[in-house]
Structure formats: structure tokens, C-alpha cells
Amino acid sequence: MADLTLNAVGKKCPMPVLMTKKELKKMSSGQTLELIVDDKGALKDVPALINKTGDMISETKVDGEQITFMIQKA
């Protein structure tokens, strides 16, 4: 279960990435962010961001047009 859910459906990259970065800065270590998007560009952009921040994607789920990332704050 996520500590916070960020719904970025309808937003085109880079907006979901910028929104994710902003939310992660507010979170404490060990908390989980559920990010929901529908822009396929997020499949490469979100992991690139997480690689830079040092956080971890624990799950990526693609369900039709919707993509859900579970991101754990380092």
C-alpha cells in the first residue's frame, strides 16, 4: 500500500516526471509513492529520474493505457 498516490493521467512528459520529483522531495525515507500515468514516455523517463535520485521502483505495471509505478523513497 502506498503512502501517497500521484495521479498524472492526462499529463504529458515531462510533467509526470517533474510532479514525481516534487513529491519525492517532500517524502521521508522508506515511504512509497504510487504514480499513475498514461504517457508511454514515462516508461523511460520515470526510471531515468529514479536512477538519478537514488530511490527505487519496486513495481511497474502496464494495464492498457495506464502505467503504475510504485516508488520507494531512499
CA distances from 20 to 36, 54, 71 (A): 10, 13, 9
* Cell numbers placing 24: 519525492
How many C-beta atoms surround the C-beta of residue 62 within 10 A? 10
Task: Please confirm, yes or no, whether 40 is among the known catalytic residues.
Answer: no
* Cell numbers placing 41: 514516455
Which candidate in 2, 4, 13, 36 is catalytic? 13
Catalytic residues: 13
